[in-house]
Amino acid sequence: MHPHVTEVLAKLDEARTGLRQAFEAIRPEQRGVRHWPDRWSAAEVMHHLSLAERRFAGIVRTAIEQAQASGLGAESGPRVPLPDAIVAVQADRVARRTALDPMQPQRDIDAAAAWDMAERARQDLRSVVTGADGLALGSVTASHHAFGPLSVYQWVELVAAHETRHVAQMREIAGALADGPA
């Protein structure tokens, strides 16, 4: 596997490990509970992550397919990481954001089902990226609605940063539920 692909997939794996730990810190019977009426439950967070990742995988897949149709060559350049400013935006839990409609989670979704959806979305994204291993993915870009053009590698890092944002949210949920009713 190309080192660039290995690097970004490692970021995905690290984020998912943190997410699993945060999710498992919440008792199964509490994973569908909204501690605050205007915020998601752990299950809803998982569903949102699955929807976002599936959407991002589709964007990346389309960009790679279009680049391949145009004669995309082998990777030869350095990997430009996701800009620090975007990483900082993702890490900022003070500034609340509203997910786009296609990424709004289903209310009262089963937590186990939501986790399974997130796992399938992750497999899909990994498959898209590894299926193009060795190609010049650093030169393949697609535009993000808020962050502008991102390379395939940056999209994968964005998924990891987005998931890490929600790891922090999951920890907030776990702490609130442990403290008792709102």
Q: What does the alpha-carbon distance between residue 57 and residue 62 come to, in Å, rounded to a whole number? A: 9
Is residue 182 very low, low, confident or very high in pLDDT (cuts 50, 70, 90)? low
- Beta-carbon contacts of 28 under 8 Å, excluding residues fewer than 6 positions away, are 111
Query: Quick one: pLDDT at residue 181?
Result: 63
- Give the domain range for residue 45: 3-179
Q: Which residue has the higher pLDDT, 177 or 82?
A: 82
Is residue 96 very low, low, confident or very high in pLDDT (cuts 50, 70, 90)? confident
Query: Quick one: pLDDT at residue 12?
Result: 97
User: Which CATH number covers residue 44?
Assistant: 1.20.120.450
In total, how many domains does the chain have? 1
Query: Beta-carbon neighbour count of residue 74 at 10 Å?
Result: 8
The HSE-up count of residue 129 (CA atoms within 13 Å, CB side) is: 30
Q: What angle do CA 75, 164, 85 make, to 5 degrees?
A: 65
